[in-house]
Amino acid sequence: MKTIEIRIAGRVQGVGFRACIKKIATNLGVGGEAMNLPDGTVLVTATGEPVILDKFVSMLYGCPRVVIRDLSQQEISPATYPEFTILRGGYQYST
């Protein structure tokens, strides 16, 4: 098992991308989380078998209405997730 962090830029917010990511992850048995970041990117943390994670990343390009302009990934310290979740606290609002 390994854990990767993926940062995705492009038209990735407000188009159902995180829900698509969760569906792919659930179907592949990948645990982790996805959240929108204030800079307009999406940050994904995913844990699974290396070959499954490669498939997971490649399937992200098939999400409808999404335009991925840049995708970077790096291996991080292993983490355990019981399932894949969508985090909704990525934005910091100012008044």
Query: Tokens at residue 33, please?
Result: 């989380």
If phi > 0 it is left, if psi is from -120 to 50 it is alpha, else beta; for residue 75 that is beta
50-60 vs 17-28: helix crossing angle, rounded to 10: 150
For residue 32, count CB atoms less than 10 angstroms from its CB and return exposed for 0-12, middle for 13-18, buried for 19 or more: buried
Catalogue the active-site residues: 18, 36
